[in-house]
Structure 1
Amino acid sequence: MADSQMEDDPAFETPAPVVFIAPSINQEHLFSGASYTHYSAVPPALLPTPSLTSPDSLEPGPACALGVDEAGRGPVLGPMVYGLFYLPIPFSDPLLRKTHHFDDSKVLTPTVRSNLMEKLCTSETDLYTQCGWAVDVMSARDIGANMMKPAGTYNLNAQAMDATIALIHGVYKMGVNVKEIYIDTIGNPATYQKKLERIFPTANVTVAKKADSLYPCVSAASVCAKVTRDAALEVLYESYVQKPEEDEDTSKTKVVQEESWGSGYPSDARCTSWLKRNMDPVFGWGSECRFSWGTAKDMLDLKGVAAKVDWPIEDDDETTRLTDFFNGEKEKQSDDLGSWFGHRPGTEVF
């Protein structure tokens, strides 16, 4: 199955029935519509160590491979998440591919993805002690606001590239000895690779299409990104589920369940149905919705559904100049300027 088909297939994109809530889930930021980043602690085995020959200096940790991939580029609901994963170069294939069977998150079932992420976050496992990861959670509100700026549009590719670069810089600052960088491409691979090579000159950079299937560290990054997005969707959805209410007569609880919004992709009928049922005529939806997406725009523009608001525009006389306020002829016609300071009293005052 082609990647484009997988990305639109609700079966691949819908979260697991019970999704692992990773430490990368910040409920406060999610509900407020704010973007944020999360870095796991660097395993001690990957940190610099004191030099045996020079006590005042540090020896770099083991050379690491680092991969970056995203999840949630196309949905109308929920964040886009960039995931990053790193580990010692010799461990990349045997640990990730052969032992734990990491692969592109789109070909793993939601339950398998969730279980892999849980292992990564469980202390004393080989993944926890040998690997590190990070995510940049780009909120739907911020994505939409950036894409709808009246001037200097900040498109999705530019936002994604900045998120990738910032994540990698963060790992370097934590002391990880990154020597190989693998990234699933945004646009033209050669152009993107040259830019990253200039920014990270000490690492061997590889940018390729389908990198999440070719390089184990990118596969692991895709899992981190996808499970974080899955969990974020679950947390955001909870705000639309009514909490149990006490029934005064029977002392029983009753719960009103809102039908799921599914994967959040426009191709998912559950998503579009949810959007139609839950659209406020004035505000549309909450910060979980990307208002810059055609799906949201079309629903808001549908005649007779959303409230129409006309924003008045004040007339602006483009010929007005500052010196016009000090023109003698205009002063004769209007004494507004003089009235700012009062009038000279005449005899009629007395």
Structure 2
Amino acid sequence: MSSDRCVYDIERSETWIGFGNGVPCILGVDEAGRGPVLGPMVYGCAVSPINNGNELKELGVADSKALSESRREEIFIVAYALCCLSAQHISTSMLKRQKCSLNELSHGAAISLIRDALSSKINVVEIKVDTVGPKATYQLKLEKLFPGIAITVVVAEKADALFPIVSAASVAAKVTRDRHLRSWSFSEANVKVPNDGYGSGYPGDPSTKKFLRESIDPVFGYSSLVRFSWKTAETLLEKYCVNVQWDDDETKEASMREWLTTTSKLPKRHSFFADRTISNISAF
């Protein structure tokens, strides 16, 4: 299934449904947590009446990375919707047989938020998003998905520093990710967390590095807080975990030509299965 057709869980503010009562609105989308090895990637979507740009600037909405955590909390008041992609979801999507890249996951989250705004009867007439992947390709993709309505899609690098509505979305995403990390509750037993915590989650953070080294289990690897598809985690898993080699349960089924022409014996099954007289259920 295409990432932009996947079902994403969306959290909405109380004012989201029918926001603006039909007044033309501008919509911005941005993310927080694309690069960290720990925790979720959160996509935020903010909406505001299209003539409220100056008011957003007066609130102090700017690049969320330039704001203090307390200031981000104070201005987290714009109507918003959020899409939270857990570390486990990111990793399994990137490592499964039909792999889904981080860019595809990002596109899917942004598209789901835009669709949700439109289905929530918000009169969106302009959209601004931060670019993910090739700018022209992303722009064309969004324009094709939302035809027939007066939407101007502006895909711009560092859009959160250029457009107040994207900054508002960035703030919503960053606040939500920060809250997730602060309140994280491990579902796994006996995860070793250093006294100074696990830091920001970025691979270069000393506290994060320490947590990754001390919390690794030699058999089961990492908890669901960790994106085990990240190179940082993969390297540590290869270095400190037990090496596992998987033997085929059953020999591969031979083709008709092989059955008719081969004179060699079939390979011997692993002793684990032979000793326990274990057979594939399809053999009965």
| Structure 2 unmatched runs, 5+ | 1-7, 261-282
- 1:177 deviates by 0.1
Using the aligned pairs only, state the percent identity: 42
Are the aligned partners of 1:47 and 1:175 in contact in 2 as well (CA < 8 Å)? no
- 1:241 deviates by 11
Partner secondary structure for residue 229 of structure 1: helix
Task: Give the match for residue 78 of structure 1.
Answer: 39
Task: Give the match for residue 101 of structure 1.
Answer: 60
- Tell me, in whole angstroms, the C-alpha distance in 2 between the residues paired with 1:238 and 1:162: 27
- 1:167 deviates by 0.7
Deviates more, 1:290-299 or 1:309-318: 309-318
Task: Give the match for residue 261 of structure 1.
Answer: 198
Deviates more, 1:230-239 or 1:153-162: 230-239
Are the aligned partners of 1:241 and 1:258 in contact in 2 as well (CA < 8 Å)? no
Any idea what the Cα deviations from partners look like across 1:15-39, whole Å, max 9, x if unmatched? Answer: xxxxxxxxxxxxxxxxxxxx73201
Pairs within 5 Å for 1:129-208: 131-150=78-97, 152-201=98-147, 202=149, 203-208=151-156
Task: Give the match for residue 228 of structure 1.
Answer: 176
Larger gyration radius, structure 1 or structure 2: 1
Q: Which of 238, 254, 262 lines up with 1:318 in the alignment?
A: 254
Task: Give the match for residue 65 of structure 1.
Answer: 26
- Tell me, in whole angstroms, the C-alpha distance in 2 between the residues paired with 1:79 and 1:259: 20
**Cα 1:95–1:47 shift into 2, 3 Å:** closer
Are the aligned partners of 1:69 and 1:83 in contact in 2 as well (CA < 8 Å)? yes
| Structure 1 unmatched runs, 5+ | 1-34, 49-60, 121-130, 243-255, 325-339, 341-350
- Tell me, in whole angstroms, the C-alpha distance in 2 between the residues paired with 1:82 and 1:43: 15
- Tell me, in whole angstroms, the C-alpha distance in 1 between the residues paired with 2:80 and 2:124: 13
- Tell me, in whole angstroms, the C-alpha distance in 2 between the residues paired with 1:231 and 1:45: 27
Any idea what the Cα deviations from partners look like across 1:113-143, whole Å, max 9, x if unmatched? Answer: 12222xx1xxxxxxxxxx4101100010010
**Cα 1:291–1:257 shift into 2, 3 Å:** closer
Q: Which of 285, 289, 296 lines up with 2:233 in the alignment?
A: 296
- 1:208 deviates by 0.6
Task: Give the match for residue 331 of structure 1.
Answer: none
TM-score for the superposition, normalised by structure 1: 0.66
Q: Which of 19, 23, 47 lines up with 1:46 in the alignment?
A: 19
Are the aligned partners of 1:147 and 1:156 in contact in 2 as well (CA < 8 Å)? yes
- 1:238 deviates by 7.0
Task: Give the match for residue 241 of structure 2.
Answer: 306
**RMSD between aligned residues:** 2.5
Partner secondary structure for residue 69 of structure 1: strand
Q: Which amino acid aligns with 1:183?
A: V
Partner secondary structure for residue 42 of structure 1: coil
TM-score for the superposition, normalised by structure 2: 0.81
Any idea what the Cα deviations from partners look like across 1:57-113, whole Å, max 9, x if unmatched? Answer: xxxx1000000000100111000001000010011x222112x10111111122211
Q: Which amino acid aligns with 1:275?
A: L
- Tell me, in whole angstroms, the C-alpha distance in 2 between the residues paired with 1:43 and 1:275: 38
